[in-house]
Amino acid sequence: MSRIPEVLKEQVDRIAEAIIYLYTESRRLTKDQAAKVGLTGPQLTVVKILDELGDLSLSELSDRIRAQNSTVTGIVDRMEREGLVDRKRSAEDRRVVHIQLTDKGQKLARGLNFEPFSIFRHAIQQALEPQELLQLLGLLDKLAKWVRTEVEGESTGERTKKRASNDDD
């Protein structure tokens, strides 16, 4: 049962359209910027994240770009072959591998004008009052958590159904 009254359907649609527009525009800008320097969009994102945050473990990097570890491993493999990143085992926990930019990767990062971040940061800072920013952050976090829970629930449910189906064979 929907928590939103039917009379607000138009507003719900407008919110969904705005989110999709912002996502699509971000992807387009990232892809355009990445192509200028011979990278893919995800590779560009990894370069900028590592430049801004420093070395990250594979899991931390996966969380930051909202991708599975196996996907990020493939991205990092290609970037390592290009000499943009290195892997370094943690001294504290040998199971943990940190990803770090090489000198080549740092040089590339410093030369990038990563438009989606700067465009959206500027828009947020100019269009919203501080209280609105905090409200938006809370609401987006709530939406992201709900979507994440639903997607993980569906994935788990599908795996469970497949296992049960295979057990019947």
Residue 163 pLDDT exceeds 70: no
Which of 62-71, 111-120, 127-136, 158-167 has maximum average pLDDT?
127-136
Angstrom distance (rounded) from CA 111 to CA 101:
14
pLDDT at 7: 82
Residue 11 pLDDT exceeds 70: yes
Residue 167 pLDDT exceeds 70: no
Of how many residues is the chain composed?
Answer: 169
Mean pLDDT of the region 11-40: 90
Angstrom distance (rounded) from CA 59 to CA 67:
9
Provide, rounded to the nearest whole percent, the portion of the chain with pLDDT above 70. Answer: 89
Mean pLDDT of the region 26-34: 87
> Where along the chain do its domains lie?
6-124, 128-169
Q: Which residue's structure tokens are 């958590």? A: 145
pLDDT at 155: 64
pLDDT at 158: 55
CATH number at 6-124: 1.10.10.10
Residue 169 pLDDT exceeds 50: no
DSSP string of the chain, one letter each residue: --SS-GGGHHHHHHHHHHHHHHHHHHHHHHHHHHHHTT--HHHHHHHHHHHHH--EEHHHHHHHHT--HHHHHHHHHHHHHTTSEEEEE-SS-TT-EEEEE-HHHHHHHHT---HHHHHHHHHHHHH--HHHHHHHHHHHHHHHHHHHHHHHHHHHHHHHHHHHHHHH-
56-109 confidence digits (pLDDT tens): 999 999 998 888 888 999 999 999 999 999 999 888 888 888 999 999 999 999
